[in-house]
Amino acid sequence: MRGITRRALFAGSAVGAAGALLPTAGPAAAGPRTARASYRAGYHFTVPEQWKNDPQRPVWIDGSYHYYYLHNADYLAGEIGTAWRLATSTDLVSFTDRGIAVPKDTTPNGDVWSGSAVVDTHDTAGFGAGAVVVLATMSPHDGPADQAQYLYYSTDRGRTFTPHGTDPVLPNPGVRDFRDPKVIRDEERDRWVMTLAENDKVGFYHSVDLKSWTYVSGFVRGGIGVLECPDLFRIRAGDGTPKWVLGVSANGKGAGLPNTYAYWTGSFDGSAFTADATDPQWLDYGWDWYGAVTFDKHGPDGTLDEGTRYAIGWLNNWDYAHITPTIDSDGFNGTDSIVREITLKRGGDGGYFLASRPVAALDRYVSRTVTLGDLEVEGTRLLDYRGTAYELTCEITWDQLTGAGVQLRRSPDGVRHIDAGVHRDYAYLNRRATVSPDLTGRWQESHSPFDPSRRAVRLRILVDRTSVEMFVDDGRYVHSSAAFPYLVDTGLALFTVEGKAVFRNTVIREFRV
């Protein structure tokens, strides 16, 4: 996916200037006003300044994860085009900015779009053993049939990259939408495999040297928009069964489906992927988990965990990508989801699904814990807690009711809030009653399946200054959405609809990163 980043979209929106979203009175704004209050996330990754969009799959180099992402240093000036910026981390919670790694506009081909980096351990490309090679999409004339794949390489362990000439290593054969190469190593067959987004198809390609590529097969699925940012990996389920997973970022809103990461479990023979089912599953049901990537989980000594992967997504949506108060408050636009740990589980129907949980290292950053225990609720119960960035966990149990959940970032008068919970046969996240980036009003409440006969649900909800991520029942379903509550809206309440419930083991944790 590319980085089309014009601030004019924000400036002309119905929300108006970002300052309209910033409080001018109340506890968070008390005292002399020498600068605007900050909307920068408390414990999520944010770009230091200007713009970011797509995450690029992190790679493990010398004991740390190298996380590249699309970055536009000219965003606030209204100029378009992205480079790859680098941040490194040993635990995927705290990151160190390393600056631009793959620059834009240094060749006639212009800026650099999405792709993937690999460590060429065996020197298959000829740049030296251990060289880091990037395959990325570029479009010299910015046309839909002009997208092709280009190669950059690094001999300083992924810090800076040099273009391998100016010609593509995989030219466009004359098709519309031909982008986002994702490369993995097939050690069994001593070759590289690339997946490529080609409109409603994922193309598969082989190479022995990362420079010359041959098309071998395609996986076609329509009805969920143009496919972007493909992903292919092998993972072992908790019962020991290995599965291949093919993922894509897709916009299924027109069909009443999410606009996030669709995936299929199945098999891969080195050339073609065969899905277990025709319809995809979704790794997130919210509105804002796009361009997501998964990547290997390594132990401190570099050993690979075959049963767990990590994942990170862009907490934004192209429908309203330029509407955020962080532009004026902090001079940036670009926030990511928390890094997740992804595991494969077997469902009651015999099929397999991916489950998500926040990265375990987040536990090491807890700065305050508020234990509220078991709370009985009928109607609305306002809690004695105030906060803008925290985690809430609880298990809700009941005998008979219509719905139950929590009101997050509640205003002092109770009018503004974000609702998260279950209602009849679905779980939901609703941002309608707060400041939302969706100016159409259509994409305010997200839904995922829920079985009410269980009479219980476990919720783990990550709240930050401009986002909410809700993990339902140990991450079987996840909802990630951007929301921009006033910074003075710090309240928290529990509620039920037409019945009584007990919110068991209710705990709030705050983090210092």
Cβ neighbours of residue 182 closer than 8 Å, sequence gap 6 or more: 57, 115, 116, 194, 195, 196, 229, 230, 231, 232
**Is 97 an active-site residue?**
no
**How many residues are given for the chain?**
513
Q: List the strands of the sheet with 201-207, edge to edge.
A: 179-186, 191-198, 201-207, 214-220
Catalytic entry in 54, 288, 296, 438? 54
SS3 176: coil
SS3 348: coil
SS3 272: coil
SS3 39: coil
Q: What element of type H or E holds 505?
A: strand 491-511
- Report residue 255: phi and psi, to 5°: -105, 15
Q: Nearest to residue 411, comparing CAs of 30, 23, 33, 17? A: 23
SS3 244: strand
CA-to-CA distance for 197 and 103, rounded, in angstroms?
23
Angle CA(504)–CA(505)–CA(511) in degrees, nearest 5? 135
Positive/negative CA dihedral, 24, 28, 31, 37: negative
Neighbours of 177 (CB within 10 A): 18
Q: Nearest to residue 80, comparing CAs of 103, 109, 111? A: 111
CA-to-CA distance for 423 and 496, rounded, in angstroms?
9
- Per the DSSP assignment, residues forming a β-bridge with 501 are 377, 398
HSE value, Cβ hemisphere, 13 Å, CA-based, for 463: 30
Q: What element of type H or E holds 458?
A: strand 456-464
CA-to-CA distance for 464 and 388, rounded, in angstroms?
6
In 228-323, DSSP assigns E strands to 228-236, 242-249, 261-268, 273-275, 281-282, 290-298, 304-314
Q: What are the tokens at 177?
A: 């939408």
Q: Nearest to residue 227, comparing CAs of 250, 245, 247, 246? A: 250
Q: What are the tokens at 8?
A: 């004019």
Q: What are the tokens at 112?
A: 């650099």
Neighbours of 96 (CB within 10 A): 11
Catalytic residues: 54
